Amino acid sequence: MTVFFHYSLHGFANVFLVGNDVTMEAVIVDPAAFTLGLLQFVEDKGYTVKAVLVTHGHARHIDGLRTLLRIYDAHVYSSNATLGDIPCRMVTDGENFTVCGLAVQALSVPGHSADSMVYRFDKLLFTGDTLNAGLIGKTMSQYGNKLLKEQLARKVLSLSDDCLVLPGHGPPSSIGAEKLYNLGWKIPRNEVEHSEYRL
């Protein structure tokens, strides 16, 4: 398995390509943009994009989806039935499935958005906007903030410390680092309560 990242200036989001080096099939995680540069990169590596995993339906993570689907005949996996008029294969919390010969587990982590999913490839976690280096996702309410922390603590931070966090924005991290250095556990975004959150 090979993982490549592409920094999209559209929304300053990360686009990931996970390639199966045996079948030369590839998965794109969060097609924030599908630029000529990214297309050239995929083609140069000799991959065929067969699947798209969407962590959540915010525009800055899926704006390249329509372009991608014009070029590649790929299945779209999401917790939604459709993204705009694009039909998706719906995934549910805890579901194990295979894309391009790679085993994936979907974990539902609502809070930043109701449809937020984390995709786990063994020790690789594509966390979208739920968790990124030093921060947790922005929420619209204290309820959302509490829900997000609870879901992360139960489903993501319970994984081993050497699991790698590949977020939708910003640099990579690891579960061990996020347990120690994430401000999300220390300071609620809306500053309403100041008690330290217990994992």
Partner 1 sequence: MYDMRRCSEPGCDETVLFESPYCAQHHPDPDAFTSALLAKFAKPGAIKSVNAAGLRFQGVDLSGKRFFSCSFSKTILRNMVFAGCTFRMCFFDFCAADSCDFSGIDAQFCSFAGARFLNDSFEHSELVHNNFDGAKMTECTFNNSNLYNSRFIMAEFERTDFIDCNLKRSMIIPSKEIEVSWRLSNTQEAIHDLDRIDL
Residues 21, 2 contacting (CB under 8 angstroms): yes
Whose tokens are 């947790």? That residue is 136
Closest listed residue to residue 98, CA positions, set 122, 79, 115, 133: 122
Should residue 180 be labelled a site residue for partner 1 when binding is judged by CB under 8 A? Answer: yes
| Single residue of 10, 67, 134, 153 touching partner 1 by CB under 8 A | 134
| Single residue of 44, 73, 85, 162 touching partner 1 by CB under 8 A | 162
C-alpha to C-alpha distance for 54 and 77, rounded to whole angstroms: 6
Q: Which stretch binds partner 1 (CB under 8 A): 41-49, 69-77, 91-99, 167-175?
A: 167-175
Q: Which stretch binds partner 1 (CB under 8 A): 39-47, 65-73, 81-89, 178-186?
A: 178-186
- In sequence order, which residues have a C-beta less than 8 Å from that of residue 162 and are 6 or more positions away? 123, 174, 175, 176
Cα angle 59-12-3, degrees, rounded to a multiple of 5 = 95
Should residue 98 be labelled a site residue for partner 1 when binding is judged by CB under 8 A? Answer: no
Should residue 1 be labelled a site residue for partner 1 when binding is judged by CB under 8 A? Answer: yes
Should residue 2 be labelled a site residue for partner 1 when binding is judged by CB under 8 A? Answer: yes
Q: Which stretch binds partner 1 (CB under 8 A): 28-36, 39-47, 149-157, 164-172?
A: 164-172
Residue 2: exposure state from Cβ atoms within 10 A (0-12, 13-18, ≥19): exposed
Should residue 172 be labelled a site residue for partner 1 when binding is judged by CB under 8 A? Answer: yes
Should residue 3 be labelled a site residue for partner 1 when binding is judged by CB under 8 A? Answer: yes
Should residue 193 be labelled a site residue for partner 1 when binding is judged by CB under 8 A? Answer: no
